[in-house]
Each structure stands twice: as C-alpha cells, then as structure tokens.
Structure 1
C-alpha cells in the first residue's frame, strides 16, 4: 500500500515488528522509566482516540498538546493522527516557558481556533494551582476546554479505523514558530511534507532499524517533533528520550545515556554543545564511550566554529569522532531540513561581510584584521529541491561573492501559515525576478552564501544592526562579548538595535551571575569590558549595556535568543531590576 499519510509508516512499523521497543523514556537519574513498543503505543493511542470520538471531535479539528516531556505526549500525538485531528504542540505555559510563555500559548490557542487542549492529569493539577495562586497576573486564559488523556486506558488496535488523508497535501500537524521576531504562527506541515522528510532523513542521516537515537530536543519544537519523535514512529530509529530540562540541569545525562545504550544518532543546537563543554569534567568525559556514534546533527541555530572546536577537542577522549559531526540547516517552514553534512569551513573578511560581500581570507591573518569563520551546512540533497541566494530587496539572484537571503523550494516546503493567506503567499510562494524561474520559494529570512558546494549561514536578516552603513550581525556581537568578563553568563547575551535621535545604535543585554551583589562599580566594570570587546572586534565605539539577572533574556523553544523581545522589554521599561549603563556613561 502506498503511503499517503505519516501514520501509514507507523502502521507498517506496527505490522512488521509490533513488540520491538520504539521509545524508551529516561529520567533525570539516567534510569529507563518506560518503554513502548509499536503495539503498546498503538493500544494507548486507541484509548485516547476513543476519548476524542466521545468528545465529538472530527477530522480537521485542531488540538493543542500541552504536556511535560514523556510518553503521554507521544500517545496523544498518535491519537490525533489516528482521528485526523490536527495536533499543535506548544511549550507548556509556566516557569519553563520563560517570560511571556503563557502569552505565546494563548496566542496559539486563539490562532488555530483549537477545539480543545489535551494534557496530563499531573500538569493540569499544577496549572490549576498556579492559576489559583495568581502566578499569571493579567493573563486571560483562553475559553477552551482542557482534557486529560493519561486516564483514557487502552483499546484494541483497528488499522481500518485510522484516518487516511484523501491527498498528501492534507494538514498533518501545526508547528508554531517560536515567536523570536513576531507573534507565533502555525506552520502547516502536510502529510506529503512529512513523508518526504522521513524519506530524506533516512538517506541523509543513514537511519534504519538498527539506528539507536538519543534525544533531549523539546517535543514541541520542529527539530525534536519531526526529526526525533516522528522519525522513530516511522521506523527510522529506536529512540531514547530525555527531558530537555534534565539536560540543561545536568548535561552529563546526555552522554551517560549515549554511552550506556550505544547511541548511533543524536542531535543538538550549538548552545547544547557549549553547555556540555562548560558543565562536564575531563574525568567524566574519560569514562564515556561515544565510539558508536555515527551522526551528531547540529542545527536549529547558528553553528559557531569556536564552539565546535572546543566540543570536538574536549570530547575526543570519549571516543567522539570528528567525522560524525553533521552541521545541518533547516527551519519549520521546510519540514525541517534543507541541507546537511557540512564538511567545509571558510574564513571571510569581517569588513567585507559588513558590506554584504564574501571575501575569502586565512583564518589567522598576518595583518591582524578580523576574519569571520563559518561552518558549512552541507549540500542540497533532497530530490527535486533547489536553494538560491537572493537579494531580499530586489529579488534578483546574488552573484557568488555576495551574501543574500536563502530561498528554498522542495517537497518538504510547508503549505503555509494557518489562516494567514497573505503572509503565506509572501513568505512561501515568492518569485525570483529578472529570470524565468517558474518555482515559488520559501523566503527563510536567513542570510548566507554558497561556497565549495555547501550552504553557509551568516545570520538572520531581521537581526542585522546597521551602523553608519555597515552591517553587524547580532550573533557576531554576542559571540564577542559572552566571555569578555567572568560575571557574564555565556548563554544569556542579546544584542539588538536601538534608535536614538533618529539614528540606530547598539544595545547589549547581559545576564550577570550573582546579580544581587552587582553594585554601580561592578556594573561599570562589566559595561567597560563589553564596550572594549565591541570596539576591538567590530569597531563599534559606543553601546548601551543592560545588566539583568540570570534567566531574564527571552529565548525561543530551541534556545535562540529572542532579540526583538529583548528590545521590546527594554523600551517598555519592563526590566524593573535591570542596571542600565547608557552609551558613553559611567554609573
């Protein structure tokens, strides 16, 4: 039978090997707490599907999935697909969601006109206690019913009752963007998108029945949902699943688990590699065996050469082979990957980058001038796909020595944003001017270039800070200052533009350890270190420095800094405890 929906792959997996473990969930201590075979997962999902039937839900309805990490989420996801209900996974509202997390949750519920919210009994009780205690002041909860699915029990599996999409273009899941630059939007991933992604992943990442994956990626983020959970459902791997909160608290858990189970596949954004280096010891690394690891996918945020070098160097003693490192580029609107297996790194003159040009130079320059080092994200391997570098203003193709916006067309390009036809047309169906290319492209909003047959990503277009005609990438400014002073927390730095007297200037928000003890003298010291580094690396003569407590800098579900949210908080005066050292001022 030809697969028309993503659940057809799970059904084939179920019929082929019903008792083989697909998912194993690992707790904070590194102990396996639950293991689900395809049959056990299907029986539990049938129970939740019966609940949806009893509630009167029908194919095409939308459901918001709000669960802590664990098996209940996977069960509810499969149940929705069985019923033809379109699931939308979101970050649970509460402390884990960070500042404003409940607002993003509420916006998603309203945006997709959810029929209901599916959750677990434990989380629902915590939510009720938080509401009763006034933990969400000023937030109006959506008038939508919550339903606990963990008490639904099991039912016999009946494949003939499973929903089969009439066409591959039918919506399968809604993936809400993280809201790093705007209100969250629901990306419509179709069954055809997901089938094409699963097929490409199996080839590109060398997946199969013998693949052993370990993932701490959030279940509500496209990287974790599609490339871990749905990939395991489709038969591409056996997955050991860790809580991202447990990983952040104790990164050693990731490596302990991989060493214990002989992981052959894992994945992490750049910040996860950095955290692993900072929060593990040489003695721990020497005890782990990462020799079986064949693929370590790194994606979801800019990949920093310095981070990669430190990570591969520090974990060489664990048996980690450099050739398993797999830089990859992707985004939700591309369901999810665009390119993979980067093997090149290039150094580009920093002054040229500021002017939008690509001028190759040695990494260590004899003249002492600064070079930006970029990690390649590989070639374009998906059948029938095309990726182009386009001038975002003129919509004309860029010459090979120019940086432009990355435009993508492939079988995995999402159908659009839910109930946003104009935004969908502008962002996912863009036409290249100046030639007769018949394709319609996804405008990624990311800037980059091609070199040596690979795609290189330089940054987000909306995060470029323009000072006196020169382009400065926020990521580059943050990388320069995150270790310029011992009080700065490396993962809590955000650079953004401010407008003063009609001119754009720079602000840098830094989280400071032991913030309570930071007086005016200490604040001046941090600000001076930040400005000194910006002047040396980027020739930025002045900047406003904002010191904030740990955990203040807003981030997306994948750990990316929400720079526009940082600017909004600063300009609205909502950073009540912040210490601001204005440009050119000592406190």
Structure 2
C-alpha cells in the first residue's frame, strides 16, 4: 500500500484499503492543513500533513531497521513535538506497537525514572526507545537496565528523524492488532499498560468526534501531554484522523505562560480545546482583564474538561474573567474517561451550560439514594457561597459506550443511587499488561469495573471519586477528591499544591506551601467536616514531593504507604487528634 510520496519520486497509488481509518491521512496527506508545535522561545513550527507523512516514512524506516523478532514495542519518552508525532505514527507504519510515556522532566529523580522506563521496556518487549537529544543519556541507562534484565538489546534513538535517507511505505496493519499500550502508574508504584486495539481506538475517536461535532474543519489547541489518554486519543488521534488544524504546546509551556494558550483561542479563532479544569482555574489566576484586551472567545465551540473532578469554583472564575470578551460557559464540555475505556466514556454536549447538583454530602451512603438539595448549572454552582457542595455533571455516555451503577455484589442500582460505575462497549480495552497488574479498576465479563464511585440522575453521570480513596464515617463515605476540593475554602491554601491521603484512621494533607496560620485553620476545618472521628495531620513539604499519575492525579495509596513507613520527606505543621467517642 502506498505511503506518503517521497520527495523527487512519483506518487504511487494505493494498493489496498488503509489498515485503519485513523491512518488514512498517511495515504492522502493534505498540504493545506497542518499541525503546529510551540517553540520554546516563542513562535510556532508548522508542518503540513504532507510534511508529517514524509517524516513518518523516515521514522518508520529507522524503527523498522532496529525491530527485533518478537520485540514489537517502541517506547516514546518524548514531549508534545514533531518528534513524538512522527515517531508514534512511524512505529505504527512499521507494524510496531508504540507506547507513550512521560519524558524525564516529569519525574523527581533519575534513578526512579530509569527503573520506571526499564520496566516499561520489559513489559512492552521494546526494540527501541525514542527521546529528545537532551534526554538520551538517561534513556540509555534505562535501555541498558532493560537489556540486562531481558537479555535483548534495546536501541536508543533521537526523536529527530529528519536526517533519514531511507523511506518506508504504509504497512498493512490489521485492525485486530494492538494500536498502543497506554501506560499509567495509577496510585501504585508499578507501571501497568492498558491494551488498546485499533477497534477500540477507532470507536472512541469516533465517539469523541460526534460528542463535539468535529468533522475536521475546526481548529484545535492543546497542551495536554501525549502520554495521557486525553492528549493521545482526544487531542491527537481524533483530530489527526480527520486532518484537522492542530496546535500543540507542552504542559510546561502552559504553566510558564498560560496566556499563550488563551491567545490561541481568543486571538486566532481556534474552536476546540481540552484541559483538566485546573487549567482553566490556573489561567484565571494568572491573567488579568488587561491581558484580555481585544480578545474574542466567541469562536470557541468546545472546551473539553477531563482528567479530574470538575471544579465549579475554578470554572466559574474563568467564566467571570472571560465572559466580557465573548466566552460562553456553554462551551465547557465536562467529560469522564479512563484508559481502560480507551479514553472517553461520557461528556456534556457543548451548547448548554453544564448541569450540577448540590449534594447533602453528610448523608452520602453506598448503595443508598443520593440526597439532592438543589439542581442547577455551573452558573448556580460556581458563584455560590459553597461551591464545594456542588457536583458538576460529566454528561451522557458517548456513542458506543454504556454506563451502569452497581452495588458491592455487582447488582444494578436504580437511578440516583450511589455505587460503583461499570462501563462497557466497543471502547472497552483488551485488558492489562501485565495481566495481573495491581489496579483498583478491573476487567470482567467484557466490562470495566471502574473503581469510581458515582451515580446516574436523569441520564447524567456524576463521578465522586475513587472507592479506594474514601473514608467511612458512621456509614457514609467521604472521598479524598471531595476533601481536595474543600481545601480551597481555607484562606491561604492553593489546593492544586496539596493532596489528601485517607485511610480508616487518618487524614493526611500534603501541602507544598510555606508554613503559616493556614495550616491550623485547615486541620480544624477538615476535623470538623469529618466530625472529629479520625486524626487530621497537615504535612508541609517541598515543591515536587507530591507524586502524580500521568493525568496529574495524586498517587494517594503510594504516598500514604510512604508516609506510614516514614519515607516521605516533610514536617508536620498542624495536627488535630481524633476526638473521643461520646457516650
């Protein structure tokens, strides 16, 4: 089958059907649409789809030349860049299975990173690992460690494939083969891969596109990393499959200068973006009305929210800042997703302001009806005096996905009852690698038991938090995510620099903040919220202490274990002991 035409050669015609609709752009790449990559010094590098297809052919030849029998994996430890895009599709083009992981900058220490990458190289049976030139030394250490463990050499390649001289053609990759292994460490220390097939990827990308009515004619900007399923499936595969104009930044570029992301939306007329809700809250804190002078958000059609529980306070702060410049909160598209379902599970279709409910959190009890104090939208939840009491809907199931709520025995619960969310459909992944991976989510009977607590109400899906990160207080559950949200109610606390850890006996808040009176106020507030039935400890720690998953969620179980074993660096800055039981 013909791939991208090589410069100076006649264009060959296709020899058969493309292996997947998601790869058809390689057969007929457009010159009038492009992917832009943010430069570190400002400005953009633009590559048309025809440019990218040619680079993919060079990357494919380089990777194919190093592929070993029985070693189909290619690991890309590469940030959002042209090297990632061409390396990823180059691996596919060579009939290999790509895996995206975080580059070294995301990890706190070299030794930990080397161990992590070496384990991923073993699990993927990788022939090669790809990274930017500045990271090749640490990747060589990982490759050597993996080679010693497996007895097979692993090639280390630069992500700059532009100097290649050989070219490859598009391979006939059957749609039944794996499209990717999506790795995450979750809340434990051991990496696990989710086995995503081409059928999974195609179904989910189609469902995502239908949710936001994406047909390829709309432009998109994202800074979500490619090693997260929202970045890879939602912001790359879904968009590139239709050859849509795409602008990619790196997460650190967004953190350093959120205005760059906002300017793409409000000054270039971009219509689609995606980010965790903290991204919008962060932009609202960093920008002023003066930064938005002349901005126009009226072209934005969808702002997809993923990777964490939706924060009504932060979303409303962004709305309040940007609404005078044409921003409409109806463009917010709150979603729920996980790698075990490829990515998207539910979403709130853009066009109406997302729904929200005011819960009676004190009465939340597993397998019982959820008590709703009030119903409304983000407009009611965000500006209220108690935004932490509100829960924003994650919308309705996307096409091809079903959502149910079950009790502890797996039996369906009625509408409005609190239980575990169980997912099924064409996006359901093919399991874990390794098959016995430690995870609070699990595959059974063709379904994914998510490990997430939630409920369905009037067709809407509401997600509270991880069942394993909940504290049981007199029959009701208090979720670590709920406590995280409540941190913002204490003056002087930036909840995005904190993480709450819970077990049956304690609440521990890790705070990457300077000591101050906020700590005593926070300990007292949380103690009152849980009725004083457990110890509450606030630990001040250095920036970078809080370990996070690929989606930015705290690795709570791992850090709680480290805390209990006194392996977590930090200083207790406030403590409220458990109060004696009355009577």
Q: Same fold (TM over 0.5)?
A: yes
- Report the counterpart of residue 176 of structure 1 in structure 2: 183
2-side partners of 1:54 and 1:422: how far apart?
A: 32
- Report the counterpart of residue 272 of structure 2 in structure 1: 265
Label 1:149 to 1:369 Cα distance change in 2 as closer, same or farther (>3 A).
closer
Q: CA offset at residue 75 of structure 1?
A: 0.6
In structure 2, the residue corresponding to 1:362 is in which secondary structure? strand
Please give the per-residue CA displacement for 1:477-504, whole angstroms capped at 9, x wherever unaligned. Answer: 1221235142x33312111124xxxx62
In structure 2, the residue corresponding to 1:63 is in which secondary structure? strand
Q: Does 1:386 align with 2:378?
A: no
Contact 1:10 1:235 survives alignment (8 Å): no
- Report the counterpart of residue 377 of structure 1 in structure 2: 394
Q: Does 1:66 align with 2:66?
A: no
Contact 1:483 1:490 survives alignment (8 Å): no
Contact 1:23 1:240 survives alignment (8 Å): yes
Q: Does 1:495 align with 2:500?
A: yes
Q: Does 1:413 align with 2:428?
A: yes
Please give the per-residue CA displacement for 1:105-161, whole angstroms capped at 9, x wherever unaligned. Answer: 333223223222122323315767xx7xxxx9xx99433331224145356876xx4
Q: Which residue, 438, 454, 479 being the options, matches 1:448?
A: 454
Label 1:15 to 1:360 Cα distance change in 2 as closer, same or farther (>3 A).
same
TM-score using structure 2 length: 0.86
Q: CA offset at residue 313 of structure 1?
A: 1.8
Alignment of 1:54-453 (within 5 A): 54-57=65-68, 61-93=72-104, 95-98=105-108, 100-124=112-136, 141-143=145-147, 144-151=154-161, 153-154=163-164, 161-166=169-174, 168-181=175-188, 183-235=190-242, 237-341=244-348, 343-354=354-365, 357-362=369-374, 372-383=389-400, 385-391=401-407, 393-420=408-435, 427-430=442-445, 440-453=446-459
2-side partners of 1:154 and 1:369: how far apart?
A: 58
Please give the per-residue CA displacement for 1:345-367, whole angstroms capped at 9, x wherever unaligned. Answer: 111211222555401113799xx
2-side partners of 1:453 and 1:200: how far apart?
A: 17
Label 1:117 to 1:250 Cα distance change in 2 as closer, same or farther (>3 A).
same
In structure 1, the residue corresponding to 2:540 is in which secondary structure? strand
In structure 2, the gaps of 5 or more residues are 1-13, 148-153, 579-583
2-side partners of 1:156 and 1:40: how far apart?
A: 16
Please give the per-residue CA displacement for 1:309-339, whole angstroms capped at 9, x wherever unaligned. Answer: 2222222123111211111111111111011
Contact 1:59 1:84 survives alignment (8 Å): no
Contact 1:217 1:223 survives alignment (8 Å): yes
Contact 2:63 2:128 survives alignment (8 Å): no
Please give the per-residue CA displacement for 1:391-439, whole angstroms capped at 9, x wherever unaligned. Answer: 1x21111132321111111111111112416879982224xxxxxxxxx
1-side partners of 2:565 and 2:228: how far apart?
A: 29
Q: Does 1:37 align with 2:37?
A: no
Q: Does 1:552 align with 2:556?
A: no
- Report the counterpart of residue 9 of structure 1 in structure 2: 22
In structure 1, the residue corresponding to 2:119 is in which secondary structure? helix
- Report the counterpart of residue 530 of structure 1 in structure 2: 522
TM-score using structure 1 length: 0.85
Q: Number of aligned residue pairs: give it.
A: 543
Contact 1:25 1:35 survives alignment (8 Å): yes
- Report the counterpart of residue 6 of structure 2 in structure 1: none
- Report the counterpart of residue 569 of structure 1 in structure 2: 562
Label 1:117 to 1:156 Cα distance change in 2 as closer, same or farther (>3 A).
closer
Contact 1:91 1:105 survives alignment (8 Å): no
Cα RMSD (Å): 3.0
- Report the counterpart of residue 434 of structure 1 in structure 2: none
